[in-house]
Structure 1
């Protein structure tokens, strides 16, 4: 346990935290705000706080959890609306009303709801990490495939069938060393670590966006990357909304990162009403929303980007073609600039940190078409489509020019 030494906006400097690592999550102050360790310098530890820090005082306690920020992965994500830390905004509304209290904790996946689990293996079967041991009907469209967690290979000792909560064990696997490990409907994964796969494949199939001009002249492949830069009012958000509605991706993850709340409200209004042309069901039955809009803390924008791509990789590992839409990556870059300035790092062009290109590259590299882990051959893909909002429509500014180096398709908009 440490204590706050000084506060600079979303940056907290603490002393006395022993044994912490970069990326560890800590609870800051009496309100237990969520913070992430971003720098360790001697006895001083710098934390990026993901919530509003007004009201914090030097001397309040800081408690390290010893674990990084993780995503909860399991049945119940489809149709959900989450913030950048994967707190369910539907639950937050029910409990706190329209104004979210600082430090309020909400578990992402409903621990009370029961899901019917149908096993696909039997006792005595050998399983590898990434194998499907059973399925759950998550929505009218999506069959949620329960995977053996990463790092577990062995023999199925027992497996159940019937209704289970997400935190109840559905199977038990005996490892080669004799240790038995439980498998639950849910698992967790650090959001900054890409999920592993067996082999990356060349891009071979187009992702039909539902927009004729894009599909004809500027196509994107399943597993590819695209950027849609444009000045204010050129139609970035409208285009991305249309792609989210009518693309032929199995699952769409829409990350509203730092954009206006009315734009997020618009897509949340339409998705429960519109029908998916392929299945006839409502579009909400194959969509996940991460709403980290402009009036929420700037520091949580980075978390929302990584949370979205981690969830996308999880469904990719089940064998689905996932499309993730980020509106806008410029707001994430601005959050990086804000934190870099508070850390007093040497600025690069236009005040952005020198590692901006590295962060953008690492994000877009998590797209791809892959053979997933497991004994059976499954192919899944993650396609990333990101909006870029250059001030004044200047495509030479750092975020736009850097993004254009790493994407495969460019949908530039102008007035």
Structure 2
């Protein structure tokens, strides 16, 4: 807590205070950034801030837009998030600081078509979508891998390639398998698993390994709650090698004249 600044603002506080709190936080972050520090700002939540903005807009008699929010909601959100980034500070000594903004969005009833959610997703470069169904299944962290994304994947590829030459290809393989699993699950629900080919069954099995053995973590386990990068890379290599090995065996066994294993 010695390196933490808290700005507490509850929902029963004045509307103007709720709107000003997020700007206060980013301004304090810029102060420490100008000192040459790397700052992380957590805004929980931007949805409550947007509600305060909507209430102020209504009192001012401004023309409402979608769901009663002001038409400039997207612009205000963009102005806030664009204050993040790496900066070279003026003055002496020469110093470089950065701000990383992590904003929590609380859409009503988990509706991703909420104006605040839509505007946020149009602005941010990384999005982690929490899934209530995953939480109910005790899958933690309950981040939905189909809704979440990062636009920094290509930018970070050279960095990870220096650490491990297989990371980029394995990461793309995992994403492809998880996406194919979603499509295959729809077929399984209609006609059953037995109607799938062996290749498709392998995709389901490996995707389950990725979900339950790689993505899912136990916060109460000293070994599992924190996953160092070397451990992550080794797990990815093992799962990818298993998939490619079994897939190659299936293709070889389907060739004419191939021996059948019982």
Q: Normalization by structure 1: what TM-score?
A: 0.31
For CA contacts below 8 A with separation 6 or more, give which structure has more relative contact order.
1
Q: Larger % of helix: which?
A: 2
